[in-house]
Structure 1
Amino acid sequence: MFTGLSAFPLTPMNEKGIKERELICLVEHLANAGVDSIGVLGSTGSYVYLSQEERARVAQLSVESAASVPVVVGIGALRTRDVLANAENAQKAGASGVLLAPVSYQKLTDNEVFDLYETVCRSLSVPLCVYDNPGTTHFEFSDELHGRIAQLSQVHSIKIPPVADEVEVARARVERLRKLIPDGVTIGISGDAVAGVGLRAGCDAWYSVFGGLFPRQALAITGAAQKGDMQLIQTLSEALEPLWALYRDYGGSLRVAATLAEITGKASQPCLPQPLKTLQGDDRKRVEHVLEQLGLA
Protein backbone atom coordinates (compact mmCIF):
# COMPACT_ATOMS: atom_id res chain seq x y z
CA MET A 1 0.00 0.00 0.00
CA PHE A 2 2.78 2.47 0.82
CA THR A 3 4.51 2.03 -2.52
CA GLY A 4 3.89 3.37 -6.02
CA LEU A 5 1.54 6.31 -6.49
CA SER A 6 -0.49 7.56 -3.55
CA ALA A 7 -2.79 10.26 -4.95
CA PHE A 8 -3.98 13.03 -2.63
CA PRO A 9 -7.23 14.73 -3.69
CA LEU A 10 -8.71 17.98 -2.47
CA THR A 11 -11.66 18.05 -0.11
CA PRO A 12 -13.95 20.42 -2.04
CA MET A 13 -15.90 22.58 0.40
CA ASN A 14 -17.50 25.90 1.09
CA GLU A 15 -18.55 27.52 4.35
CA LYS A 16 -21.69 25.39 4.45
CA GLY A 17 -19.75 22.14 4.43
CA ILE A 18 -18.14 19.46 2.29
CA LYS A 19 -19.20 19.20 -1.34
CA GLU A 20 -19.83 15.50 -1.10
CA ARG A 21 -20.66 14.80 -4.75
CA GLU A 22 -17.46 16.49 -5.90
CA LEU A 23 -15.37 14.58 -3.37
CA ILE A 24 -16.91 11.30 -4.50
CA CYS A 25 -16.17 12.11 -8.14
CA LEU A 26 -12.54 12.93 -7.34
CA VAL A 27 -12.06 9.66 -5.47
CA GLU A 28 -13.83 7.60 -8.12
CA HIS A 29 -11.65 9.18 -10.81
CA LEU A 30 -8.51 8.13 -8.93
CA ALA A 31 -9.79 4.61 -8.31
CA ASN A 32 -10.72 4.18 -11.98
CA ALA A 33 -7.26 5.38 -13.01
CA GLY A 34 -5.67 2.58 -10.97
CA VAL A 35 -3.59 4.52 -8.46
CA ASP A 36 -1.91 2.42 -5.79
CA SER A 37 -3.59 4.24 -2.92
CA ILE A 38 -5.66 7.34 -2.21
CA GLY A 39 -4.62 9.73 0.56
CA VAL A 40 -7.51 11.81 1.89
CA LEU A 41 -7.37 14.51 4.55
CA GLY A 42 -3.77 15.40 3.92
CA SER A 43 -2.69 19.01 3.63
CA THR A 44 -4.28 19.16 0.18
CA GLY A 45 -7.45 17.80 1.77
CA SER A 46 -7.49 20.74 4.24
CA TYR A 47 -7.81 18.40 7.21
CA VAL A 48 -6.96 21.01 9.85
CA TYR A 49 -9.92 23.16 8.75
CA LEU A 50 -12.52 20.43 9.24
CA SER A 51 -14.49 19.35 12.29
CA GLN A 52 -14.15 15.84 13.65
CA GLU A 53 -17.56 14.98 12.23
CA GLU A 54 -16.66 16.34 8.78
CA ARG A 55 -13.43 14.35 8.77
CA ALA A 56 -15.28 11.17 9.68
CA ARG A 57 -17.67 11.83 6.80
CA VAL A 58 -14.80 12.37 4.33
CA ALA A 59 -13.25 9.08 5.44
CA GLN A 60 -16.54 7.23 5.02
CA LEU A 61 -17.31 8.66 1.59
CA SER A 62 -13.78 8.07 0.35
CA VAL A 63 -13.67 4.43 1.38
CA GLU A 64 -17.11 3.82 -0.12
CA SER A 65 -16.06 5.44 -3.40
CA ALA A 66 -12.59 3.94 -3.80
CA ALA A 67 -13.67 0.42 -4.78
CA SER A 68 -10.71 -1.87 -4.03
CA VAL A 69 -8.09 0.90 -3.89
CA PRO A 70 -6.65 1.36 -0.37
CA VAL A 71 -7.56 4.65 1.32
CA VAL A 72 -5.14 6.30 3.73
CA VAL A 73 -6.77 8.87 6.02
CA GLY A 74 -5.05 11.81 7.69
CA ILE A 75 -5.67 11.90 11.45
CA GLY A 76 -3.47 14.76 12.67
CA ALA A 77 -4.84 17.24 15.24
CA LEU A 78 -3.60 19.58 17.96
CA ARG A 79 -4.49 17.26 20.85
CA THR A 80 -3.70 13.58 21.21
CA ARG A 81 -7.27 12.81 22.30
CA ASP A 82 -8.52 14.23 18.98
CA VAL A 83 -5.93 12.28 17.00
CA LEU A 84 -7.15 9.10 18.71
CA ALA A 85 -10.77 9.96 17.90
CA ASN A 86 -9.85 10.62 14.25
CA ALA A 87 -7.98 7.32 14.13
CA GLU A 88 -10.98 5.45 15.50
CA ASN A 89 -13.31 7.09 12.99
CA ALA A 90 -10.95 6.31 10.11
CA GLN A 91 -10.76 2.66 11.15
CA LYS A 92 -14.54 2.44 11.54
CA ALA A 93 -14.88 3.81 8.01
CA GLY A 94 -12.67 1.00 6.70
CA ALA A 95 -9.48 2.93 6.03
CA SER A 96 -6.56 0.74 5.01
CA GLY A 97 -4.08 3.04 6.75
CA VAL A 98 -3.65 6.40 8.45
CA LEU A 99 -1.37 9.37 7.98
CA LEU A 100 -0.17 11.33 11.02
CA ALA A 101 1.59 14.68 11.15
CA PRO A 102 2.68 16.20 14.49
CA VAL A 103 0.33 19.19 14.37
CA SER A 104 1.01 21.84 17.01
CA TYR A 105 0.59 25.44 18.08
CA GLN A 106 3.27 25.29 20.75
CA LYS A 107 6.56 23.94 19.37
CA LEU A 108 6.87 20.24 20.16
CA THR A 109 9.94 18.45 21.51
CA ASP A 110 11.29 15.21 20.06
CA ASN A 111 10.05 13.26 23.08
CA GLU A 112 6.56 14.74 22.78
CA VAL A 113 6.40 13.73 19.13
CA PHE A 114 7.65 10.23 19.88
CA ASP A 115 5.07 9.87 22.66
CA LEU A 116 2.34 10.98 20.24
CA TYR A 117 3.19 8.26 17.73
CA GLU A 118 3.66 5.65 20.45
CA THR A 119 0.27 6.44 21.97
CA VAL A 120 -1.52 6.41 18.63
CA CYS A 121 0.14 3.21 17.46
CA ARG A 122 -1.14 1.40 20.55
CA SER A 123 -4.70 2.15 19.41
CA LEU A 124 -4.30 1.17 15.76
CA SER A 125 -5.17 -2.00 13.90
CA VAL A 126 -4.08 -0.52 10.54
CA PRO A 127 -0.66 0.67 9.30
CA LEU A 128 0.51 4.25 9.87
CA CYS A 129 2.50 6.59 7.65
CA VAL A 130 4.57 9.26 9.39
CA TYR A 131 3.85 12.62 7.78
CA ASP A 132 7.00 14.77 7.87
CA ASN A 133 5.88 18.20 6.67
CA PRO A 134 7.80 21.01 8.38
CA GLY A 135 6.31 23.58 6.02
CA THR A 136 2.93 23.26 7.76
CA THR A 137 3.70 21.74 11.17
CA HIS A 138 6.93 23.70 11.76
CA PHE A 139 8.40 20.58 13.35
CA GLU A 140 11.58 19.15 11.86
CA PHE A 141 12.23 15.45 12.27
CA SER A 142 15.80 14.32 12.68
CA ASP A 143 16.73 11.06 11.01
CA GLU A 144 17.37 9.67 14.48
CA LEU A 145 13.81 10.48 15.59
CA HIS A 146 12.47 8.88 12.43
CA GLY A 147 14.54 5.84 13.33
CA ARG A 148 12.97 5.64 16.81
CA ILE A 149 9.42 6.09 15.56
CA ALA A 150 9.91 3.60 12.74
CA GLN A 151 10.52 0.85 15.31
CA LEU A 152 6.87 1.10 16.40
CA SER A 153 4.97 -1.88 15.08
CA GLN A 154 2.24 0.04 13.21
CA VAL A 155 4.62 2.37 11.37
CA HIS A 156 4.96 1.21 7.76
CA SER A 157 6.07 4.32 5.86
CA ILE A 158 7.61 7.77 6.16
CA LYS A 159 6.44 10.61 3.93
CA ILE A 160 9.50 12.83 3.67
CA PRO A 161 9.66 16.48 2.57
CA PRO A 162 11.09 17.50 -0.81
CA VAL A 163 14.64 16.31 -1.45
CA ALA A 164 17.53 18.18 -3.07
CA ASP A 165 17.37 18.78 -6.82
CA GLU A 166 20.56 16.77 -7.38
CA VAL A 167 19.96 13.03 -7.55
CA GLU A 168 23.16 12.01 -5.79
CA VAL A 169 22.50 14.39 -2.88
CA ALA A 170 18.94 13.11 -2.64
CA ARG A 171 20.11 9.50 -2.80
CA ALA A 172 22.53 10.08 0.06
CA ARG A 173 19.70 11.53 2.15
CA VAL A 174 17.40 8.58 1.41
CA GLU A 175 20.12 6.03 2.10
CA ARG A 176 21.04 7.74 5.38
CA LEU A 177 17.44 7.45 6.56
CA ARG A 178 17.05 3.91 5.29
CA LYS A 179 19.93 2.73 7.47
CA LEU A 180 17.99 3.82 10.57
CA ILE A 181 14.60 2.24 9.84
CA PRO A 182 13.42 -1.38 9.62
CA ASP A 183 13.44 -3.08 6.23
CA GLY A 184 9.66 -3.15 6.01
CA VAL A 185 9.22 0.61 6.36
CA THR A 186 8.98 2.41 3.02
CA ILE A 187 10.12 5.94 2.20
CA GLY A 188 7.83 8.12 0.13
CA ILE A 189 8.59 11.47 -1.45
CA SER A 190 6.28 14.47 -1.28
CA GLY A 191 6.73 17.71 -3.16
CA ASP A 192 5.63 17.08 -6.74
CA ALA A 193 8.32 19.26 -8.31
CA VAL A 194 11.10 17.02 -7.00
CA ALA A 195 9.20 13.74 -6.96
CA GLY A 196 11.07 12.59 -10.05
CA VAL A 197 14.36 13.21 -8.28
CA GLY A 198 13.11 11.40 -5.17
CA LEU A 199 12.00 8.36 -7.16
CA ARG A 200 15.32 8.28 -9.00
CA ALA A 201 17.06 8.52 -5.61
CA GLY A 202 15.37 5.37 -4.35
CA CYS A 203 12.08 6.43 -2.75
CA ASP A 204 9.46 3.68 -2.75
CA ALA A 205 6.38 5.88 -3.15
CA TRP A 206 5.23 9.22 -4.44
CA TYR A 207 2.69 10.96 -2.19
CA SER A 208 1.29 13.23 -4.85
CA VAL A 209 -0.93 16.31 -5.03
CA PHE A 210 -0.54 16.31 -8.82
CA GLY A 211 -1.68 12.69 -8.89
CA GLY A 212 -4.85 13.68 -7.06
CA LEU A 213 -5.93 15.64 -10.14
CA PHE A 214 -4.03 14.05 -13.02
CA PRO A 215 -3.46 10.41 -12.06
CA ARG A 216 -2.70 9.16 -15.58
CA GLN A 217 0.28 11.48 -15.95
CA ALA A 218 1.49 10.77 -12.41
CA LEU A 219 1.19 7.03 -12.99
CA ALA A 220 3.40 7.34 -16.04
CA ILE A 221 6.19 8.82 -13.89
CA THR A 222 5.68 6.26 -11.14
CA GLY A 223 5.60 3.41 -13.64
CA ALA A 224 8.90 4.55 -15.08
CA ALA A 225 10.36 4.43 -11.57
CA GLN A 226 9.04 0.92 -10.99
CA LYS A 227 10.71 -0.17 -14.26
CA GLY A 228 13.95 1.54 -13.30
CA ASP A 229 13.80 3.86 -16.32
CA MET A 230 15.55 6.83 -14.75
CA GLN A 231 15.78 8.79 -17.99
CA LEU A 232 12.05 8.55 -18.60
CA ILE A 233 11.31 9.73 -15.05
CA GLN A 234 13.46 12.78 -15.65
CA THR A 235 11.95 13.50 -19.06
CA LEU A 236 8.34 13.24 -17.88
CA SER A 237 8.93 15.28 -14.74
CA GLU A 238 10.89 18.04 -16.48
CA ALA A 239 8.12 18.36 -19.06
CA LEU A 240 5.86 19.53 -16.22
CA GLU A 241 8.22 22.33 -15.17
CA PRO A 242 5.70 25.10 -16.01
CA LEU A 243 3.38 23.56 -13.42
CA TRP A 244 6.12 23.17 -10.83
CA ALA A 245 6.93 26.85 -11.37
CA LEU A 246 3.36 27.68 -10.32
CA TYR A 247 3.90 25.77 -7.06
CA ARG A 248 7.02 27.79 -6.36
CA ASP A 249 5.52 31.14 -7.26
CA TYR A 250 2.26 30.75 -5.36
CA GLY A 251 3.50 29.37 -2.06
CA GLY A 252 3.06 25.64 -2.54
CA SER A 253 0.65 23.23 -4.16
CA LEU A 254 -2.67 23.81 -2.37
CA ARG A 255 -3.88 27.02 -4.02
CA VAL A 256 -2.57 25.88 -7.39
CA ALA A 257 -4.26 22.48 -7.11
CA ALA A 258 -7.54 24.03 -6.01
CA THR A 259 -7.39 26.52 -8.89
CA LEU A 260 -6.66 23.68 -11.32
CA ALA A 261 -9.63 21.75 -9.95
CA GLU A 262 -11.95 24.71 -10.46
CA ILE A 263 -10.72 25.47 -13.98
CA THR A 264 -11.01 21.83 -15.10
CA GLY A 265 -14.47 21.43 -13.57
CA LYS A 266 -13.40 18.92 -10.93
CA ALA A 267 -14.55 21.31 -8.20
CA SER A 268 -16.91 24.27 -8.16
CA GLN A 269 -15.85 27.68 -6.97
CA PRO A 270 -15.13 28.24 -4.11
CA CYS A 271 -13.59 24.94 -3.05
CA LEU A 272 -11.29 26.03 -0.20
CA PRO A 273 -12.14 26.87 3.42
CA GLN A 274 -12.06 30.56 4.23
CA PRO A 275 -9.88 32.53 4.57
CA LEU A 276 -8.02 30.50 1.91
CA LYS A 277 -8.77 31.44 -1.67
CA THR A 278 -7.92 30.08 -5.09
CA LEU A 279 -5.96 32.19 -7.57
CA GLN A 280 -7.83 34.92 -9.41
CA GLY A 281 -7.23 37.56 -12.09
CA ASP A 282 -3.95 37.40 -13.97
CA ASP A 283 -2.70 34.62 -11.71
CA ARG A 284 -5.65 32.45 -12.71
CA LYS A 285 -5.07 33.22 -16.37
CA ARG A 286 -1.50 32.03 -15.94
CA VAL A 287 -2.74 28.72 -14.54
CA GLU A 288 -5.14 28.39 -17.48
CA HIS A 289 -2.26 29.01 -19.87
CA VAL A 290 -0.12 26.33 -18.22
CA LEU A 291 -3.01 23.84 -18.43
CA GLU A 292 -3.31 24.46 -22.15
CA GLN A 293 0.46 24.42 -22.67
CA LEU A 294 0.77 21.02 -21.01
CA GLY A 295 -2.35 19.54 -22.59
CA LEU A 296 -4.03 19.08 -19.21
CA ALA A 297 -7.06 21.29 -19.83
Structure 2
Amino acid sequence: MKTITGLSAFPITPVDEAGVVDTETLQRLLARLVAAGVDSIGLLGSTGSYAYLTRAERLRAIEAAVECVAGRVPLLVGIGALRTDEASELARDALRADVQMGLLAPVSYVPLQEHEVFEHFQAVSEVGLPLCIYNNPGTTHFSFTPELVGRLAELPNIVAVKNPAPGVGEIGDLHADLLARVPSDFSLGYSVDWHAGQALLAGGDAWYSALAGLYPDIALRLTRAAQGGRTEEVAQLNRQLEPVWRLFRAYSSYRVMHLAASREGFGEAQPIRPVLPLADEAARDVETVLERSGLT
Protein backbone atom coordinates (compact mmCIF):
# COMPACT_ATOMS: atom_id res chain seq x y z
CA MET A 1 0.00 0.00 0.00
CA LYS A 2 1.36 3.42 -0.96
CA THR A 3 2.02 5.69 1.98
CA ILE A 4 1.17 9.05 0.36
CA THR A 5 -1.55 9.58 -2.23
CA GLY A 6 -3.85 12.40 -3.31
CA LEU A 7 -3.42 15.98 -2.14
CA SER A 8 -0.63 16.91 0.27
CA ALA A 9 -1.10 20.49 1.47
CA PHE A 10 1.97 22.58 2.36
CA PRO A 11 1.09 25.55 4.61
CA ILE A 12 3.29 28.44 5.67
CA THR A 13 4.76 28.41 9.19
CA PRO A 14 3.68 31.67 10.86
CA VAL A 15 6.40 33.26 13.00
CA ASP A 16 6.82 36.51 14.91
CA GLU A 17 9.59 39.05 14.32
CA ALA A 18 11.95 37.07 16.55
CA GLY A 19 11.44 33.90 14.50
CA VAL A 20 9.29 32.20 17.15
CA VAL A 21 6.57 29.99 15.69
CA ASP A 22 3.06 31.34 16.25
CA THR A 23 1.49 28.03 17.24
CA GLU A 24 -2.03 29.39 17.62
CA THR A 25 -2.10 30.70 14.03
CA LEU A 26 -0.40 27.55 12.77
CA GLN A 27 -3.08 25.39 14.37
CA ARG A 28 -5.81 27.53 12.78
CA LEU A 29 -4.21 26.96 9.40
CA LEU A 30 -3.94 23.22 10.00
CA ALA A 31 -7.52 22.96 11.24
CA ARG A 32 -8.64 24.53 7.96
CA LEU A 33 -6.79 21.84 6.02
CA VAL A 34 -8.11 18.97 8.13
CA ALA A 35 -11.67 20.26 7.82
CA ALA A 36 -11.32 20.49 4.03
CA GLY A 37 -10.31 16.83 3.83
CA VAL A 38 -6.79 17.01 2.42
CA ASP A 39 -5.06 13.64 2.17
CA SER A 40 -1.90 14.70 4.02
CA ILE A 41 -0.15 17.80 5.32
CA GLY A 42 3.43 18.80 4.53
CA LEU A 43 4.62 20.75 7.55
CA LEU A 44 7.93 22.63 7.34
CA GLY A 45 8.27 22.32 3.60
CA SER A 46 9.81 25.07 1.49
CA THR A 47 6.61 27.12 1.81
CA GLY A 48 6.84 26.38 5.53
CA SER A 49 10.28 28.01 5.95
CA TYR A 50 12.06 24.87 7.20
CA ALA A 51 15.47 26.10 6.08
CA TYR A 52 15.15 29.27 8.16
CA LEU A 53 14.03 27.73 11.45
CA THR A 54 16.12 26.46 14.34
CA ARG A 55 15.74 22.92 15.57
CA ALA A 56 13.84 24.22 18.62
CA GLU A 57 11.36 26.15 16.48
CA ARG A 58 10.86 23.22 14.12
CA LEU A 59 10.07 21.03 17.12
CA ARG A 60 7.69 23.69 18.44
CA ALA A 61 5.85 23.63 15.10
CA ILE A 62 5.78 19.83 15.02
CA GLU A 63 4.36 19.51 18.53
CA ALA A 64 1.66 22.09 17.79
CA ALA A 65 0.78 20.30 14.55
CA VAL A 66 0.60 16.86 16.14
CA GLU A 67 -1.65 18.25 18.87
CA CYS A 68 -3.95 19.85 16.29
CA VAL A 69 -4.05 17.11 13.68
CA ALA A 70 -4.18 14.31 16.27
CA GLY A 71 -3.74 11.49 13.76
CA ARG A 72 -6.65 12.53 11.55
CA VAL A 73 -4.40 13.29 8.58
CA PRO A 74 -0.89 11.97 7.84
CA LEU A 75 1.72 14.54 8.78
CA LEU A 76 4.92 14.93 6.74
CA VAL A 77 7.66 17.10 8.23
CA GLY A 78 10.70 18.75 6.66
CA ILE A 79 13.93 17.48 8.20
CA GLY A 80 16.45 18.86 5.71
CA ALA A 81 19.69 20.32 7.11
CA LEU A 82 23.20 21.12 5.90
CA ARG A 83 24.79 18.38 8.00
CA THR A 84 23.92 14.71 8.05
CA ASP A 85 24.07 14.51 11.83
CA GLU A 86 21.68 17.48 12.12
CA ALA A 87 19.22 15.93 9.67
CA SER A 88 19.38 12.70 11.67
CA GLU A 89 18.59 14.57 14.89
CA LEU A 90 15.65 16.30 13.21
CA ALA A 91 14.44 12.87 12.06
CA ARG A 92 14.65 11.63 15.66
CA ASP A 93 12.63 14.63 16.85
CA ALA A 94 9.93 13.84 14.28
CA LEU A 95 9.94 10.14 15.12
CA ARG A 96 9.53 10.82 18.83
CA ALA A 97 6.62 13.16 18.05
CA ASP A 98 4.80 10.39 16.13
CA VAL A 99 5.05 12.13 12.76
CA GLN A 100 4.25 9.80 9.88
CA MET A 101 7.04 10.79 7.50
CA GLY A 102 10.07 13.02 7.04
CA LEU A 103 10.68 15.21 3.98
CA LEU A 104 14.41 15.06 3.34
CA ALA A 105 16.01 17.52 0.94
CA PRO A 106 19.77 17.45 0.23
CA VAL A 107 20.43 20.95 1.56
CA SER A 108 23.92 22.12 0.66
CA TYR A 109 26.39 24.97 0.51
CA VAL A 110 29.14 23.06 -1.27
CA PRO A 111 27.34 21.42 -4.25
CA LEU A 112 26.75 17.76 -3.50
CA GLN A 113 27.69 14.83 -5.69
CA GLU A 114 25.39 11.87 -6.27
CA HIS A 115 27.30 9.43 -4.06
CA GLU A 116 27.29 12.01 -1.23
CA VAL A 117 23.53 12.43 -1.47
CA PHE A 118 23.07 8.66 -1.43
CA GLU A 119 25.15 8.28 1.74
CA HIS A 120 23.37 11.24 3.36
CA PHE A 121 19.96 9.63 2.78
CA GLN A 122 21.23 6.22 3.82
CA ALA A 123 22.46 7.59 7.15
CA VAL A 124 19.26 9.52 7.93
CA SER A 125 17.09 6.55 6.93
CA GLU A 126 18.76 4.49 9.66
CA VAL A 127 16.96 6.60 12.29
CA GLY A 128 13.82 4.63 11.41
CA LEU A 129 11.52 7.46 10.30
CA PRO A 130 9.87 6.79 6.92
CA LEU A 131 11.30 9.27 4.42
CA CYS A 132 10.13 11.07 1.32
CA ILE A 133 12.88 12.18 -1.07
CA TYR A 134 12.39 15.94 -1.38
CA ASN A 135 13.64 16.76 -4.87
CA ASN A 136 13.72 20.56 -5.09
CA PRO A 137 16.61 21.56 -7.35
CA GLY A 138 15.45 25.18 -7.42
CA THR A 139 16.55 25.56 -3.79
CA THR A 140 19.11 22.78 -3.24
CA HIS A 141 20.80 22.95 -6.66
CA PHE A 142 20.80 19.17 -6.79
CA SER A 143 18.51 17.19 -9.07
CA PHE A 144 17.70 13.53 -8.44
CA THR A 145 17.99 11.33 -11.51
CA PRO A 146 15.52 8.46 -11.91
CA GLU A 147 18.48 6.13 -11.39
CA LEU A 148 19.29 7.67 -8.00
CA VAL A 149 15.63 7.58 -6.93
CA GLY A 150 15.60 3.88 -7.82
CA ARG A 151 18.72 3.19 -5.76
CA LEU A 152 17.35 5.09 -2.76
CA ALA A 153 14.01 3.30 -3.04
CA GLU A 154 15.83 0.07 -2.25
CA LEU A 155 16.83 1.37 1.20
CA PRO A 156 14.65 0.61 4.20
CA ASN A 157 12.43 3.53 5.25
CA ILE A 158 12.67 5.49 1.98
CA VAL A 159 9.12 5.18 0.73
CA ALA A 160 8.23 8.17 -1.47
CA VAL A 161 9.55 10.93 -3.68
CA LYS A 162 8.38 14.51 -4.21
CA ASN A 163 9.54 15.43 -7.71
CA PRO A 164 9.10 18.70 -9.59
CA ALA A 165 6.62 17.90 -12.36
CA PRO A 166 7.82 18.80 -15.87
CA GLY A 167 5.53 19.98 -18.64
CA VAL A 168 2.91 17.95 -20.46
CA GLY A 169 5.30 16.66 -23.11
CA GLU A 170 7.73 15.20 -20.58
CA ILE A 171 5.71 13.98 -17.61
CA GLY A 172 4.57 10.71 -19.16
CA ASP A 173 8.09 9.54 -19.96
CA LEU A 174 9.48 10.65 -16.59
CA HIS A 175 6.72 8.92 -14.65
CA ALA A 176 7.10 5.70 -16.64
CA ASP A 177 10.86 5.73 -16.08
CA LEU A 178 10.44 6.21 -12.32
CA LEU A 179 7.69 3.62 -12.12
CA ALA A 180 9.98 1.01 -13.64
CA ARG A 181 12.68 1.66 -11.02
CA VAL A 182 10.81 1.64 -7.70
CA PRO A 183 8.81 -0.94 -5.69
CA SER A 184 5.08 -1.11 -6.30
CA ASP A 185 4.31 0.45 -2.92
CA PHE A 186 6.66 3.41 -3.44
CA SER A 187 4.77 6.71 -3.80
CA LEU A 188 5.61 8.84 -6.85
CA GLY A 189 4.41 12.37 -6.12
CA TYR A 190 4.87 15.71 -7.83
CA SER A 191 5.18 19.41 -7.02
CA VAL A 192 5.13 22.52 -9.28
CA ASP A 193 1.48 23.39 -8.85
CA TRP A 194 0.78 24.43 -12.44
CA HIS A 195 1.96 21.05 -13.78
CA ALA A 196 0.56 18.86 -11.00
CA GLY A 197 -2.81 18.13 -12.62
CA GLN A 198 -1.09 16.67 -15.65
CA ALA A 199 1.26 14.69 -13.41
CA LEU A 200 -1.71 13.11 -11.64
CA LEU A 201 -3.39 12.37 -14.97
CA ALA A 202 -0.17 10.63 -16.05
CA GLY A 203 -0.41 8.31 -13.04
CA GLY A 204 1.25 10.28 -10.26
CA ASP A 205 0.24 9.20 -6.77
CA ALA A 206 0.31 12.58 -5.01
CA TRP A 207 0.34 16.32 -5.54
CA TYR A 208 2.52 18.24 -3.05
CA SER A 209 0.88 21.66 -3.20
CA ALA A 210 1.75 25.14 -1.93
CA LEU A 211 -1.66 26.42 -3.06
CA ALA A 212 -3.46 23.78 -0.98
CA GLY A 213 -1.71 25.00 2.16
CA LEU A 214 -4.17 27.89 2.24
CA TYR A 215 -6.77 27.12 -0.42
CA PRO A 216 -7.44 23.39 -0.07
CA ASP A 217 -10.94 23.32 -1.59
CA ILE A 218 -10.02 24.22 -5.17
CA ALA A 219 -6.85 22.11 -4.94
CA LEU A 220 -8.97 19.13 -3.88
CA ARG A 221 -11.31 19.70 -6.81
CA LEU A 222 -8.34 19.60 -9.19
CA THR A 223 -6.88 16.54 -7.46
CA ARG A 224 -10.12 14.56 -7.55
CA ALA A 225 -10.73 15.50 -11.18
CA ALA A 226 -7.26 14.25 -12.13
CA GLN A 227 -7.63 11.08 -10.07
CA GLY A 228 -10.91 10.45 -11.88
CA GLY A 229 -9.33 10.99 -15.29
CA ARG A 230 -11.51 14.04 -16.03
CA THR A 231 -9.09 15.74 -18.40
CA GLU A 232 -11.29 18.65 -19.40
CA GLU A 233 -12.16 19.51 -15.80
CA VAL A 234 -8.43 19.54 -14.95
CA ALA A 235 -7.81 21.84 -17.91
CA GLN A 236 -10.67 24.15 -16.88
CA LEU A 237 -9.40 24.42 -13.31
CA ASN A 238 -5.87 25.09 -14.51
CA ARG A 239 -7.20 27.88 -16.74
CA GLN A 240 -9.00 29.35 -13.74
CA LEU A 241 -5.83 29.14 -11.66
CA GLU A 242 -3.41 30.38 -14.33
CA PRO A 243 -3.32 33.94 -12.89
CA VAL A 244 -2.24 32.43 -9.55
CA TRP A 245 0.33 30.21 -11.27
CA ARG A 246 1.68 33.36 -12.93
CA LEU A 247 2.15 34.93 -9.51
CA PHE A 248 4.02 31.86 -8.28
CA ARG A 249 6.34 31.98 -11.27
CA ALA A 250 6.91 35.74 -10.98
CA TYR A 251 7.37 36.15 -7.22
CA SER A 252 7.74 32.58 -5.84
CA SER A 253 4.97 30.70 -4.07
CA TYR A 254 6.77 31.39 -0.77
CA ARG A 255 6.24 35.14 -0.99
CA VAL A 256 2.78 34.88 -2.55
CA MET A 257 1.41 32.45 0.03
CA HIS A 258 2.63 34.58 2.93
CA LEU A 259 0.84 37.61 1.57
CA ALA A 260 -2.24 35.50 0.83
CA ALA A 261 -2.28 34.09 4.38
CA SER A 262 -2.14 37.59 5.82
CA ARG A 263 -4.98 38.62 3.50
CA GLU A 264 -7.04 35.65 4.72
CA GLY A 265 -6.68 36.71 8.35
CA PHE A 266 -3.81 34.50 9.50
CA GLY A 267 -1.80 37.18 11.30
CA GLU A 268 0.91 39.26 9.70
CA ALA A 269 2.33 36.16 7.95
CA GLN A 270 5.68 37.72 7.09
CA PRO A 271 8.42 35.74 5.33
CA ILE A 272 11.53 35.15 7.38
CA ARG A 273 14.33 37.62 6.66
CA PRO A 274 16.33 38.05 4.55
CA VAL A 275 13.25 37.32 2.40
CA LEU A 276 11.09 40.43 2.44
CA PRO A 277 7.33 40.66 2.01
CA LEU A 278 6.00 41.71 -1.37
CA ALA A 279 5.38 45.42 -1.60
CA ASP A 280 4.25 48.18 -3.95
CA GLU A 281 3.38 46.99 -7.48
CA ALA A 282 4.06 43.32 -6.72
CA ALA A 283 1.79 43.35 -3.66
CA ARG A 284 -0.95 45.11 -5.63
CA ASP A 285 -0.61 42.52 -8.38
CA VAL A 286 -1.07 39.67 -5.90
CA GLU A 287 -3.99 41.39 -4.16
CA THR A 288 -5.76 41.97 -7.47
CA VAL A 289 -5.33 38.39 -8.68
CA LEU A 290 -6.47 36.88 -5.38
CA GLU A 291 -9.50 39.17 -5.24
CA ARG A 292 -10.60 38.02 -8.71
CA SER A 293 -9.60 34.37 -8.40
CA GLY A 294 -12.58 32.96 -6.52
CA LEU A 295 -10.31 30.83 -4.33
CA THR A 296 -12.44 31.36 -1.23
Q: TM-score range by the shorter chain?
A: over 0.9
With normalisation by structure 2, the TM-score equals 0.95
* Cα offset, 1:169, TM superposition: 2.3
Structure 1 regions of 5+ residues with no counterpart?
none
Which residue identity is paired with 2:282?
D
What is the alpha-carbon root mean square deviation over aligned residues? Answer: 1.2
Which residue identity is paired with 2:188?
I
> Who is 1:215 aligned against?
216
Q: Secondary structure at the match of 1:123?
A: coil
Deviations 1:188-223 (A, max 9, x none): 110111111211222110000000000111111111
Task: Tell me, yes or no, if structure 1 residue 203 matches structure 2 residue 183.
Answer: no
- Aligned equivalents of 1:193, 1:86: Cα separation in 2: 31
Task: Report if aligned partners of 1:60, 1:94 keep a CA contact under 8 Å in 2.
Answer: no
* Aligned ranges 1:107-256 → 2 under 5 Å: 107-124=111-128, 126-164=129-167, 166=168, 168-250=169-251, 252-256=252-256
* Cα offset, 1:113, TM superposition: 0.5
With normalisation by structure 1, the TM-score equals 0.95
- Aligned equivalents of 1:111, 1:222: Cα separation in 2: 35
Deviations 1:259-287 (A, max 9, x none): 11111212x22522111122111211111
> Who is 2:287 aligned against?
288
Task: Report if aligned partners of 1:114, 1:149 keep a CA contact under 8 Å in 2.
Answer: yes
**Counterpart pick for 1:46 among 49, 63, 79:** 49
Bigger CA drift: 228-237 or 238-247?
A: 228-237
Q: Secondary structure at the match of 2:126?
A: helix
- Aligned equivalents of 1:270, 1:25: Cα separation in 2: 13
Deviations 1:128-150 (A, max 9, x none): 11000000000111111111001
**Counterpart pick for 2:34 among 31, 34, 42:** 31
Alignment CA distance shift 1:276-1:14 (3 Å): farther
> Who is 2:263 aligned against?
263
> Who is 1:97 aligned against?
101
Task: Tell me, yes or no, if structure 1 residue 81 matches structure 2 residue 85.
Answer: yes
Task: Report if aligned partners of 2:200, 2:226 keep a CA contact under 8 Å in 1.
Answer: yes
Task: Report if aligned partners of 1:70, 1:96 keep a CA contact under 8 Å in 2.
Answer: yes
Which residue identity is paired with 1:58?
A
**Would you say how many aligned residue pairs link Structure 1 and Structure 2?**
292
Structure 2 regions of 5+ residues with no counterpart?
none
